[in-house]
Chains A and B, each alone.
Chain A
Amino acid sequence: AQKVTQAQTEISVVEKEDVTLDCVYETRDTTYYLFWYKQPPSGELVFLIRRNSFDEQNEISGRYSWNFQKSTSSFNFTITASQVVDSAVYFCALSEEDRGAQKLVFGQGTRLTINP
């Protein structure tokens, strides 16, 4: 069965510090997608990134970067120079394809607090 583990339940850092959110996954599929979502206090899930299992290139988007390592089944997320607005719950998710539709399995989330 698919599983996503986010071992860090809560992280608290001071503004401008770098912070890394860990994600480890389990799947028997050879084709799958990995995601990160942000859930601010308003509650809506905000899509951040999608990565497919055949693309192990790291990605950088502004202050955000993602490190995908198939060898360790990890998909970690780093925020550089964190800001108070980054405070939210972050979810890592794994999808499997089922007849063209994607089924998402989420981790338990990491609550990130950025203190001024």
Chain B
Amino acid sequence: EAGVAQSPRYKIIEKRQSVAFWCNPISGHATLYWYQQILGQGPKLLIQFQNNGVVDDSQLPKDRFSAERLKGVDSTLKIQPAKLEDSAVYLCASSLHWGASGVYNEQFFGPGTRLTVL
């Protein structure tokens, strides 16, 4: 079974530029997550999708970050314009489904995209 795919793996941009990251979850996984991991910290959830709907985007800086999952499969995370503090690894994860309460759905992580903003 193929894992979570992300591209690009590395990106270097200048501040105020725009950037987009792509994630392809494991086939059949309905839930998709984007995390931001700043150097020296643990990953922090930015947004969570269930199929093509947003479940939680409470920690997404909506003035500059946006994400979509139009057909309920692939997802794109965009930053526009980027700031120096956006330098981080952006991790995508997916889990199986919107299960019944008490049913555990393990999250599988992709390799991440390392963003450097100069």
Contacts and interface: CB of A to CB of B under 8 A. Distances in A.
A45 B45 contact: no
A44 B35 CA distance: 13
Interface residues of A, number: 25
A108 interface: yes
Interface stretch (B14-22, B61-69, B72-80, B97-105): B97-105
B100 A100 contact: yes
Q: Is the interface of B mostly helix, strand, loop or mixed?
A: loop
B48 A101 contact: yes
Interface stretch (A11-19, A57-65, A77-85, A91-99): A91-99
Given A91-B42, A106-B42, A106-B43, A33 B104 contact: yes
B24 interface: no
Interface string B5-44: 0000000000000000000000000010100000011111
B87 interface: no
Interface residues of B, number: 32
Interface of B: 31, 33, 40-45, 48, 50, 55-56, 89, 91, 95, 97-112, 114
17 contacts: A33-B104, A43-B112, A47-B106, A50-B106, A91-B43, A98-B56, A100-B98, A100-B99, A100-B105, A101-B31, A102-B95, A102-B104, A102-B107, A103-B45, A104-B43, A107-B42, A109-B41
